[in-house]
Amino acid sequence: MNYYGESVTRLIEQLSRLPGIGGKSAQRLAFHIINMSKDEARALAESIVSAKTEVKYCSVCCNLTDSDPCTICSSSKRRRDIIMVVENPRDMAAYEKTKGYDGLYHILHGAIAVTRGIGPEDLKIRELISRLDDSVKEVIIATNPTVEGDVTAVYLSKLLKPLGVKVTRIANGVPVGSDLEYVDEVTLSRALEGRAEM
């Protein structure tokens, strides 16, 4: 289906390979790009190449960064005695947006998923262990409340506790602002289990 000439068709084809972008969206994006100024199109293209070539993992927390160690790991304003373990950089960013956490992070880059062949050795767990010296008092496990996240949390807890560090997990419960009527049963049960005195 080469309706628009070779170069536009190739662009549509490239865009439609991106996740969540179907044929129609790819077409709409392609036309938007064609209507951009040359400078804008070039800036977009360059940001793709430079994100791919310049980004690396922080040697401490495994977050994505241009400079090593990353800004959080090298910040003097962060507590260095707690490490929050998350599955991926987006989860880290979600917690950063709360502005309610001033410790360090560790990014696993995934979760244990036996069915998809992802084992502990595929995650940045070795890197986490190597950070646990006497200054680290607590590891907060903030993997997702999914089967894979739960499995990973249990695995990490069993691995870390013998090393003498306190291991905690973020609470499950009903989301703030939600209506109990629409909250799933597993969440309701977990919220009950996790009840705290008022």
Distance between first and last Cα of the chain: 65
- Asked if 129 is part of the footprint of its own copies (rule: CB under 8 A), the reply reads no
Q: Which of residues 139-168 bind its own copies (CB under 8 A)?
A: none
Q: Is the dihedral of CA 61, 65, 89, 116 positive or negative?
A: negative
Q: How far apart are CA 144 and CA 148, in angstroms?
A: 8
Decide if residue 5 touches its own copies (CB under 8 A). yes
| Cβ 118 vs Cβ 139: under 8 Å | no
Question: Helix (H, G, I), strand (E, B), or coil: what is residue 88?
Answer: coil
Pairing of strands 64-65, 104-107: unpaired
Query: Based on CB atoms, which residue is closest to its own copies, 13 or 81?
Result: 13
- Residue 99 or 195: which CB sits closer to its own copies? 99
Is 182 one of the binding residues for its own copies (CB under 8 A)? no
Confirm or reject binding of residue 63 to its own copies (CB under 8 A): yes
Asked if 81 contacts 134 with a C-beta cutoff of 8 angstroms, the reply is no
Judged by CB under 8 A, the number of residues near its own copies is: 57
Q: Does 97 bind its own copies (CB under 8 A)?
A: yes
* Distance of alpha carbon 147 from alpha carbon 151, whole angstroms: 6
Cβ count within 10 A of residue 123: 22
Task: Tell me the per-residue interface mask from 20 to 59 with its own copies, x by CB under 8 A, - otherwise.
Answer: xx---x-xxxxxxxx-x-x--xxxxxxxxxxxxxxx----
Considering only 22, 59, 81, 93, the residue that binds its own copies (CB under 8 A) is 93
CB of residue 108 vs its own copies: minimum separation in angstroms?
Answer: 14
Binding site for its own copies (CB under 8 A): 1-8, 10-11, 13-15, 18-21, 25, 27-34, 36, 38, 41-55, 63-67, 70-71, 88-90, 92-93, 96-97
